[in-house]
């Protein structure tokens, strides 16, 4: 038991460090593009990344569904059934997304005021592979195979970095970025493939389609709220503001989101561990509090840096062309930090099949679209809307958590 716990701690630390490296690499890619391409073209690159992030939340639904059931059922028969079931749905979903992106490419070009529709075609090709790769990531996560999971993140980042930067340097600009993203997703899918017992009979598995569907739909609803909260501001700013201004906001959002993506590993580690401990009848409160504490400390440190040295951060990362957004940096970071904290509450309760936090977040995501569509006089107003909404969201999470804890003690 001690050696197993030690291995889990070691592999978990490796995944945490790996994720930090991956996030740093992805930020370096975007910082280089921000300097090389200028605000207008960078707004198009940011749009591609944002669209990928929107798809990534659907991918995450498949990943977390795989993680949940792989954590609960370790027999080869169940794992084989789970993999086949998820792969089939992931493939068809990916084909649907590919069709939406490609068929609507001309519309997307006009709606988002981009120079070409070609990047949408290039990105669309990789979407089925992305979802299939996410199924494999979920199985690694659920089985606590954090080394293999970390390898997939490293592969995606390094392939994207090398291919994208090389093509942009050669003059392919936004098309080069799109191709780099597509190649990285397809290559990582190839690397992540998992061999299971294909001869196992589905009738031998105690897992059922109904069980998986139920959880997958819940996750999809929550990931929808993640899409709305994490990306609707950039999409709406790209629509309502001029390309140059949208590029400035994209840079602001990229820096501010360091808080969210820098703390994402906490949720990745927490989710399968809580499921396993609950199944074994063991207490998991301290894992939740520890995870929340890590997120708060990291978020506070980043916000303080953005508050006291915003111009230094902007100049260092993007250059003088973006310094006008410096006063807003800590405010965007605050909004993101509040959302990152509420995320810990949601994933903790969701791993225990408590769904009210999911619905609260969905309402918050819809409210953000409505309010930003109504109030977008300038960047300050857009960010103010997000801060107020995220304050309401985290307050709701704390109230629900305390209410549930009090009720549990009474019974």
DSSP assignment string, 73-136: --SHHHHHHHHHHHHHHHHHHHHHHHHHHHHTHHHHHHHTT-S-SHHHHHHHHTHHHHHHHHHH
If DSSP codes are grouped into helix, strand and coil, which group holds residue 148?
helix
Q: Given this model, what pLDDT does residue 198 score? A: 54
Q: Given this model, what pLDDT does residue 199 score? A: 53
Spans of all domains in the chain: 1-207, 223-411
Mean pLDDT, the chain cut into blocks of 10 residues (411 residues total): 58 76 80 81 82 85 90 77 92 94 85 84 94 94 87 93 92 91 96 67 64 86 80 87 87 81 75 78 85 91 92 85 91 93 90 87 92 94 96 96 82 60
46: tokens are 């940011």
CA distance 226 to 139: 22
Q: Which of the 8 DSSP states describes residue 353?
A: T
Q: Given this model, what pLDDT does residue 399 score? A: 95
Q: Given this model, what pLDDT does residue 29 score? A: 82
Model confidence pLDDT, tens digit, residues 11-49: 667 777 887 788 778 778 877 888 888 777 888 888 888
Q: Given this model, what pLDDT does residue 12 score? A: 67
Model confidence pLDDT, tens digit, residues 167-216: 998 988 889 999 999 999 999 999 998 765 555 555 555 677 888 888 88
Is 278 in contact with 351 (CB distance < 8 Å)? Answer: yes
């Amino acid at each position: 038991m001690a050696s197993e716990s030690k291995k889990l701690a070691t592999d978990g630390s490796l995944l945490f460090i790996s994720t930090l490296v991956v996030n740093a690499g992805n930020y370096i890619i975007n910082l280089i593009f921000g300097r090389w391409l200028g605000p207008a073209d960078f707004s198009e690159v940011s749009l591609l990344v944002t669209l990928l992030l929107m798809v990534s939340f659907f991918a995450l639904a498949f990943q977390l569904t795989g993680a949940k059931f792989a954590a609960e059922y370790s027999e080869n028969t169940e794992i084989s059934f789970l993999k086949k079931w998820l792969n089939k749905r992931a493939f068809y979903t990916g084909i649907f997304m590919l069709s939406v992106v490609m068929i609507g490419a001309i519309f997307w070009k006009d709606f988002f005021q981009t120079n070409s529709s070609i990047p949408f075609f290039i990105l669309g090709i990789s979407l089925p592979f992305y979802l299939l790769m996410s199924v494999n990531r979920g199985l690694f996560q659920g089985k606590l195979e954090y080394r293999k999971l970390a390898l997939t993140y490293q592969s995606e980042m390094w392939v994207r970095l090398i291919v994208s930067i090389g093509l942009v340097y050669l003059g392919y600009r936004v098309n080069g970025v799109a191709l780099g993203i597509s190649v990285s997703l397809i290559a990582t899918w190839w690397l992540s493939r998992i061999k299971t017992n294909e001869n196992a009979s589905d009738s031998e598995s105690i897992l059922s389609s109904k069980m998986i569907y139920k959880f997958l739909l819940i996750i999809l609803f929550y990931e929808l709220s993640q899409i709305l909260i994490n990306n609707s501001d950039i999409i709406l700013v790209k629509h309502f503001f001029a390309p140059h201004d949208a590029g400035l906001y994209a840079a602001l959002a990229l820096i501010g989101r360091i808080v969210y993506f820098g703390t994402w590993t906490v949720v990745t580690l927490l989710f399968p561990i809580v499921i396993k401990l609950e199944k074994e009848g063991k207490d998991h409160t301290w894992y939740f509090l520890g995870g929340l504490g890590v997120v708060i400390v990291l978020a506070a440190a980043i916000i303080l840096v953005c508050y006291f040295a915003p111009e230094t951060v902007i100049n260092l990362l993007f250059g003088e062309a973006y310094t006008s957004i410096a006063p807003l940096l800590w405010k965007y970071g605050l909004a993101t930090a509040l959302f990152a904290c509420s995320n810990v509450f949601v994933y903790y309760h969701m791993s225990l099949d408590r769904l009210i936090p999911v619905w609260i977040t969905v309402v918050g995501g819809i409210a953000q679209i409505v309010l930003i569509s109504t109030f977008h006089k300038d960047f300050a107003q857009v960010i103010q809307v997000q801060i107020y909404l995220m304050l309401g969201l985290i307050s709701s999470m704390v109230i629900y958590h305390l209410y549930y804890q009090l009720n549990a003690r009474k019974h």
